[in-house]
Amino acid sequence: MPEVLKAPLVVEFPFTRSLGPVQSAFLTGLRERVVLGVKTTDGRTLVPPVEYDPVTAEDLDELVEVAPTGTVTTWAWNHEPRRGQPLDTPFAWALVRLDGADTALLHALDAPGPEAVRTGMRVRVRWAAQRTGAITDIACFEPYDGDRPQIAGHDGRFEDMVTGIVAPARLDYVYSPGRAQSAYINSLSSRRTVGERCPSCRKVYVPPRGACPTCGVVTSEQVEVGPRGTVTTYCIVNIKARNLDIEVPYVYAHIALDGADLALHGRIGGIPYDQVRMGLRVEPVWTEGGRYPDHYRPTGEPDAEYDTYKELL
Amino acid sequence: MPPIRDIAVVAFAQSDHLRTTDELSEVEMLIPVLHAVLDQTGLKTSDIGFTCSGSSDYLAGRAFSFTMALDGVGAWPPISESHVEMDGAWALYEAWTKLLTGDADTALVYGYGKSSPGSVRDVLTRQLDPYYVAPLWPDSVALAALQAQALIDAGETDEAALAGVASRSRASAATNSHAQVRGSVPQGEYLVRPLRVGDCPPVGDGAAAVILAAGERARELCERPAWIRGIDHRIEAHGLGVRDLTDSPSTRLAAERAGAFERPVDTAELHAPFTSQEVVLRKALRLGEEVRVNPSGGALAANPIMAAGLIRIGEAAARVHRGESDRALAHATSGPCLQQNLVAVLEGDPR
């Protein structure tokens, strides 16, 4: 069996999120070096603040300032920081109950080693040099044995409120398409199209995914199909996709390769877009170094009879 | 409202859970498990009244991955099907509800996950509060370690006791041929202190499936059905600093609603990926030393994400099927530090 393929796959997206009044005030406060909590109707102060009481689900909007100093309620020593975490040197994760708050905030605690950290220790916020209105405006906490500072009693109203955050996310994978699709991709490298036949219903699937969606059984018998095929249905694309070097309008079609029982997708070229039709006979066009057909063009054969492909629409 | 029909787990199958299954796509990994569970009952996919699955796109890094897996159940012509972006245990809950309505008499439930393509510690950060927590990228081991330290500070456990949970679990798994980590395993170095390698679940790929059936249909399909006497799931606040990490009130409430406290159970399959979480769950569920906990080895022996909770229900049911249990509790969890919890109570007919 040829080698199963693998390739790096990075999924990356900058999530843009709107904040709402409570989170907006909290994150704007961090930009201004002010930590805010929210009061519940039973008199507790939640930090970080939330819009709804986690116990009663009541709306919450009464913002109160708390101190940038607090007490560690629990912690865990992280000797190997991972990408994206607040510090790139060993640190403690800590839940910190800030002075004036009844709940704890999760963040990093910069300390020389696990021996320097304990539950109940006193810490204070270390502010980030550049602050934008995000949880990372707190660079981390640091040990602090001084007095609890006076706070001004900020009410949560600021000039130029932060109303949204951009939270970039990135995950790295090593993608493998599995046995069946690896075999398909490997065969394409020699410009052959290989599907798999279902042992039960005898249909040939291309590209193969290793299972028959009708019978729910494993497929494994490889069958070469094409190279020619029939357009079973199509659409005319009028909007140019970003980073796609194809002039519009163009035709995108379902093509049933000869011998296949499932149509695959492809672009149709070599014919004016408004002359493409169901039943058109086509063949693949490969470009130098291409890993799959660039497009399909008419073969010049007479059109296929509808009855020959009506089951493949 | 009491259930209007009796519903039972009548079959259970699982894959061998492995660190990597590169050579298999998700559906290729799943199909043998689906065939195994169907073979136990003699049912064909076309006989199944309802199909429900649990999985997560974030594990494989591709959108709508469950639609590809559907090829494994023969989804053409159209079937009655649903999916949850949760552990398969929650898919089972949905299927149980469907059977309660009378719309179907049998259901196929499966859960699967391939953690090997990505870094699961990082992947799981994406389920956290996106405003205050996820931007800090606290990984799943770090959050569990915070919970472990809270338990140690509260005097409810210590590192030696946690190591005991780990060694008991892996020893139990020695007879579980599907498990990924079996027998004697060193506790190893700290991953995130106070949790060592041995306190944490293996990362792996795997799948599981069960078949549910209602009333007489269950008796036709299984010699000793595992009747679901109750099932319930509860959730806690997403803010970790709002919760008491040494307790799990959501588990306790789910267990109460599932009827777990009405009579003693003899077996408990707990979905506790970290040793410290077993400490929390034993307390929440009031499990005494006489209850056999995780005879399969539990999630410390194999933790295929999105299947490990369903496996707890399946393992508990299989013990009832084999006559090794008369009343078993199964628990599944999701989210950081036991945020969401599902409890099911399974019983065999009196002997």
Chain A hits for B122, Cβ within 8 Å: 82-84, 171-172
What is the reported pLDDT for A245?
82
Which amino acid belongs to residue A20? G
pLDDT band for A25, please (50, 70, 90 cuts). very high
What is the reported pLDDT for A31?
98
| pLDDT tens-digit series, residues B94-125 | 999 999 999 999 999 999 999 999 999 999 99
Cβ atoms within 10 A of the Cβ of B109, count? 31
d(CA A204, CA A224): 9
Chain B hits for A9, Cβ within 8 Å: 61, 117
Give the helix/strand (H/E) hosting B36. helix B26-41
- Indicate the residue of B28, B31, B138 with minimum beta-carbon distance to A106: B138
**pLDDT > 90: percent of chain A:** 89
- Is 80 exceeded by the pLDDT of residue A252? yes
- Is 80 exceeded by the pLDDT of residue B3? no
Strand-pair partners of B208: B14, B111
Q: Which of A3, A17, A47, A82 would you mutate first to test chain B, the one with the most B CBs within 10 A?
A: A82
Q: Does B239 touch chain A (CB under 8 A)?
A: yes
Q: Are A116 and A59 in contact (CB under 8 A)?
A: no
The whole-model pTM stands at: 0.95
Strand-pair partners of A295: A285
Helices assigned H by DSSP within chain A? 20-31, 178-188, 306-309
Interchain proximity A77–B24, CB inside 8 Å: no
- Structure tokens belonging to residue A16: 């843009």
- Indicate the residue of A54, A79, A135 with minimum beta-carbon distance to B239: A54
What is the reported pLDDT for A65?
97
d(CA A202, CA A196): 9
Chain A hits for B74, Cβ within 8 Å: 212-217
Q: Does B22 touch chain A (CB under 8 A)?
A: yes
Segment A36-55 mean pLDDT: 95
pLDDT band for B1, please (50, 70, 90 cuts). low
What is the reported pLDDT for A61?
95
Interchain proximity B193–A77, CB inside 8 Å: yes
Residues in B 26-65 with any Cβ partner in A closer than 8 A: 26-28, 31, 34-35, 45, 58, 60-62
Q: Are B181 and B195 in contact (CB under 8 A)?
A: no
What is the reported pLDDT for B2?
52
- Is 80 exceeded by the pLDDT of residue A69? yes
d(CA B46, CA B57): 27
Residues in B 103-142 with any Cβ partner in A closer than 8 A: 116-119, 121-123, 125-126, 130-139, 142
d(CA B202, CA B112): 15
Q: Which of A13, A106, A165 would you mutate first to test chain B, the one with the most B CBs within 10 A?
A: A106
Q: Are A85 and B143 in contact (CB under 8 A)?
A: no
d(CA B78, CA B46): 10
Chain B hits for A211, Cβ within 8 Å: 27-28, 31, 71-72
Interchain proximity B149–A75, CB inside 8 Å: yes
- Is 60 exceeded by the pLDDT of residue B135? yes
Chain A hits for B194, Cβ within 8 Å: 76-77
Interchain proximity B27–A78, CB inside 8 Å: no
Chain B hits for A169, Cβ within 8 Å: 126, 134
SS3 B216: helix
d(CA B30, CA B67): 13
Q: Which of A78, A80, A206 would you mutate first to test chain B, the one with the most B CBs within 10 A?
A: A78
Determine the residue of chain A that is closest to B148 in CA distance.
Answer: A76
Across chain B, mean pLDDT equals 96
What pairing do the DSSP bridges indicate for beta strands B327-334 and B267-269? parallel
Nearest to A153 by CA among A71, A62, A70: A62
pLDDT band for A2, please (50, 70, 90 cuts). low
- Indicate the residue of A86, A174, A209 with minimum beta-carbon distance to B27: A209
- Is 90 exceeded by the pLDDT of residue B38? yes
pLDDT band for A174, please (50, 70, 90 cuts). very high
What is the reported pLDDT for B76?
84
In a 13 Å sphere around the CA of B237, the CA atoms on its Cβ side amount to 20
pLDDT band for A313, please (50, 70, 90 cuts). confident
Segment B299-318 mean pLDDT: 98
What is the reported pLDDT for A244?
79
Segment B155-164 mean pLDDT: 98
Segment A225-244 mean pLDDT: 92
d(CA B25, CA B27): 6
What is the reported pLDDT for B225?
98
Q: Which of A6, A9, A10, A11 would you mutate first to test chain B, the one with the most B CBs within 10 A?
A: A11
**pLDDT > 70: percent of chain B:** 99
- Indicate the residue of A85, A171, A176 with minimum beta-carbon distance to B123: A171
- Indicate the residue of B76, B135, B146 with minimum beta-carbon distance to A136: B135
- Structure tokens belonging to residue B224: 């000793």
Nearest to B213 by CA among B115, B335, B92: B92
Q: Are B336 and B141 in contact (CB under 8 A)?
A: no
CA dihedral B3, B7, B12, B14 (to 10 degrees): -30
In a 13 Å sphere around the CA of A186, the CA atoms on its Cβ side amount to 15
In a 13 Å sphere around the CA of B305, the CA atoms on its Cβ side amount to 26
Q: Is the dihedral of CA A270, A273, A277, A278 positive or negative?
A: positive
ipTM for the predicted complex comes to 0.94
Any idea which residue has 């810490």 for tokens? A123
Q: Are B301 and B182 in contact (CB under 8 A)?
A: yes
Interchain proximity B136–A175, CB inside 8 Å: no
Distance in Å, alpha carbon of B71 to nearest chain A alpha carbon: 4
In a 13 Å sphere around the CA of A151, the CA atoms on its Cβ side amount to 19
Across chain A, mean pLDDT equals 95
Chain B hits for A48, Cβ within 8 Å: 132, 239, 241
Interchain proximity B61–A46, CB inside 8 Å: no
Q: Are B214 and B5 in contact (CB under 8 A)?
A: yes
Q: Are B283 and B156 in contact (CB under 8 A)?
A: yes
Nearest to B117 by CA among B222, B234, B205: B205
Determine the residue of chain B that is closest to A94 in CA distance.
Answer: B146
- Structure tokens belonging to residue A62: 């009464």
- Is 80 exceeded by the pLDDT of residue B149? yes
Cβ atoms within 10 A of the Cβ of A130, count? 9
Chain A hits for B193, Cβ within 8 Å: 76-79, 114
Distance in Å, alpha carbon of A292 to nearest chain B alpha carbon: 21
Rg of chain A in Å (alpha carbons): 31
Nearest to A284 by CA among A268, A296, A298: A296
* B155 CB burial (10 A radius; 0-12, 13-18, 19+): exposed
